[in-house]
């Protein structure tokens, strides 16, 4: 179902976080007939996932480039964007910095890439923290409260 332009614009403007892959964000931008600058002016946090290239988190004042975590193998990317969002939000609701939240999203997403299917991955807190630190050694004190 397509929403009217007014409802769609209202949804985007009132969303605290707008997240999608590069194709989805481009569709939003085109549907609203906005430039990238317009989109950033009307969004608190804009997250663009880029598959194996990582993600970009943008606010009105900052841009964070999030490198993708390295998978042990690449079997199926299906669901990686959803798992990225879950990992990001796990950090966000804990009040962690946006860059850390993005790295958490990337770390979580890599687990689903390594398995076939969208809900076949699993990790422990300990393994997640170890994998995060391995992929993002610049954040050695990472230890979220789960």
Domain parsing of the chain, residue ranges: 5-135
Q: CA 28 → CA 96, 100, 102, 126, 141, distances in Å? A: 27, 26, 21, 38, 37
pLDDT in tens, 87-115: 999 999 999 999 999 999 999 999 887 76
Q: Quick check: is 82 catalytic?
A: yes
- pTM, two decimals, is 0.89
Question: Which listed residue (22, 76, 82, 139) is catalytic?
Answer: 82
Is 5-135 a CATH 3.40.50.1000 domain? Answer: no
3 state SS of 45: strand
Residue 135: other Cβ atoms inside 10 A: 17
pLDDT of residue 41: 93
């Amino acid at each position: 179902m397509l929403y009217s332009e007014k409802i769609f614009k209202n949804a985007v403007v009132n969303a605290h976080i707008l997240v999608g892959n590069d194709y989805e964000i481009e569709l939003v931008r085109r549907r609203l007939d906005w430039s990238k600058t317009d989109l950033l002016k009307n969004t608190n946090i804009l997250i663009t996932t880029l598959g194996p290239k990582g993600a970009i988190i943008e606010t009105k004042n900052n841009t964070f480039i999030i490198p993708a975590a390295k998978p042990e193998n690449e079997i199926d990317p299906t669901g990686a964007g959803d798992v990225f969002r879950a990992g990001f939000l796990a950090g966000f609701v804990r009040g962690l910095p946006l860059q850390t939240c993005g790295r958490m999203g990337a770390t979580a997403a890599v687990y689903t890439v390594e398995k076939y299917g969208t809900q076949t991955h699993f990790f422990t807190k300990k393994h997640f923290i170890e994998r995060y630190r391995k992929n993002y050694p610049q954040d050695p004190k990472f230890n979220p409260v789960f």
